[in-house]
Amino acid sequence: MPKNYICDMDGVLVFGSQAIPGANEFIQRLQAAGAKFLVLTNNSLYTQRDLHVRLARIGLDVPITALYTSAMATAQFLAAQHPGGSAYVIGEAGLTTALHDTGYIITDQNPEYVVLGETLSYSFERITQAMRFVAAGARFIATNPDVSGPGEGGMVPATGAVAAMISAATGVKPYYIGKPNPLIMRTALRTLNVHSEDSVMVGDRMDTDIIIGTEAGLETILVLTGVTRREDVAQYPYRPTHILDSVASIEV
Q: Are strands 67-69 and 219-223 parallel, antiparallel or unpaired?
A: unpaired
Rounded CA separation 91/122 (Å):
9
The answer to whether residues 87 and 78 touch, using CB atoms and an 8 Å cutoff, is yes
The answer to whether residues 11 and 227 touch, using CB atoms and an 8 Å cutoff, is yes
How many of the other CB atoms lie within 10 Å of CB of 58?
15
Phi, psi of 11 (to 5 degrees): 90, -10
Residue type, 102: T
Active-site residue among 8, 146, 204, 209?
8
Active-site residue among 10, 146, 204, 209?
10
Of 160, 238, 222, give the one whose Cα is nearest residue 11.
Answer: 222
Active site residue 108: no
The answer to whether residues 115 and 95 touch, using CB atoms and an 8 Å cutoff, is yes
3 state DSSP class of 157: strand
Q: Is 26 exposed, middle or buried (0-12, 13-18, 19+ CB in 10 A)?
A: buried
Active site residue 8: yes
Our measurement of the distance from residue 136's CA atom to the centroid of its chain's CA atoms, rounded to an integer in Å, reads 29
Query: Which residues are registered as beta bridge partners of 38?
Result: 6
Task: Give catalytic residue positions.
Answer: 8, 10
